[in-house]
Amino acid sequence: MKIKITFLSLLFAFWHYASVSAKHPKRVVMIALDGVSVAGFKQAKTPNLDALLAKGSVSESTRVVMPSVTLPNWTSHLTGSGPEQHGVVNNDWLLNKFILPGVAKDEDGYYPSVFTILKHEDANVKTAFYYNWLNLIYPYNSKYFDEVSYLKNDAYTENYDKAYEFIAANKNNPSVVFLYSVHTDHAGHAHKWMSPEYIRSIEEADVQIGIFLEKLKKADLYKSTTFMFLSDHGGIEYGHGGVTVEEMLVPWGIVGPGIKAGHTITDPNNTVNTASTILHIFNIKQPKAWVGQPAYSVFKSSF
């Protein structure tokens, strides 16, 4: 009798999982703030991010790749690889201007990103890239984006609105959205890391994140979304690029269907694991050139 009940319970759980999956296509939203150190994130008052991350898994010891500067690290987040593989070793990288070639290339000469792999595997996946630092998009093949929005002069709130509209318009499709702002990094450079102005920049972003999340809740798009909170490096004094703890450690969080709630990630974690974790969510095998691995400890068991 116990075996029969267990089997029926498993059967019901599988049916429920399948029906929920069919109703809610997989959706990942990366909330990306440049230059947010662990100390800065702890000190800033971020009630919206705190409430979100409390429902998921969080690391306060994720290491970034070297050098601890912007373009190599965001490229690592989105390609499952370090600079040794993707070749983006500084902030000046261009497709026709590089020092170290990538170990793999797509048909147009770009190192394969998570967007490229997703589109190759499923043309129905919708992708969007929102940013406000011009160089950020250079390492990616733009033909694999369904929507791109660049804002000048550290503007970013309009991109949060655009991201919501994109998600709502594509609610019946699987999707991956990269939602980024550089204003936090610029506050550190202009006023010093851990200055009141730097802390305020993180708090200001939290307000916009809260508005964005509330819109998703009202549209019944929140619970079916996997959110990732990411940064690329910390800072010390007025800069970064070195190997201090302040520069090399960042917060990293993930929340959503199938993710453990209230979980502290204790396994070693690195920015290269972000794209690998996304492909794992979509049940897609990563390229051989990638060195990242999914953050397996954040996932619940199948049933």
Structural domains of the chain, count: 1
Establish if 244 belongs to a structural domain. yes
Considering the entire predicted model, what is its pTM? 0.91
Per residue in 60-87, pLDDT (tens digit) is: 999 999 999 999 999 999 999 999 999 9
Containing structural domain, residue 44: 25-298
Establish if 5 belongs to a structural domain. no
- According to DSSP, the residues that pair with 299 across neighbouring strands are 259
Establish if 11 belongs to a structural domain. no
Helix/strand/coil percentages in the chain, nearest 5: 40, 15, 40
Mean pLDDT by 10 residues, the chain (303 residues): 40 41 77 98 98 98 98 98 98 96 97 98 97 98 98 97 98 97 98 98 98 98 97 98 97 97 96 98 96 97 52
Q: Could you give the C-alpha distances from 265 to 58, 102, 124, 262, 290, in angstroms and in order?
A: 6, 31, 32, 10, 22
Helix (H, G, I), strand (E, B) or coil at 148: strand
Yes or no: say if 56 and 255 are a contact pair by the CB < 8 Å rule.
yes
CATH code for position 225: 3.40.720.10
Both tokens of 298, joined, read: 């954040």
Establish if 7 belongs to a structural domain. no
Establish if 176 belongs to a structural domain. yes
Establish if 112 belongs to a structural domain. yes
Integer Cα distance of 219 and 121 in angstroms: 28
pLDDT the model gives residue 24: 64
Establish if 144 belongs to a structural domain. yes
Residue 9: CB atoms within 10 A of its CB come to 11
Yes or no: say if 253 and 56 are a contact pair by the CB < 8 Å rule.
yes
Establish if 17 belongs to a structural domain. no
| DSSP code at position 287 | P
pLDDT the model gives residue 201: 98
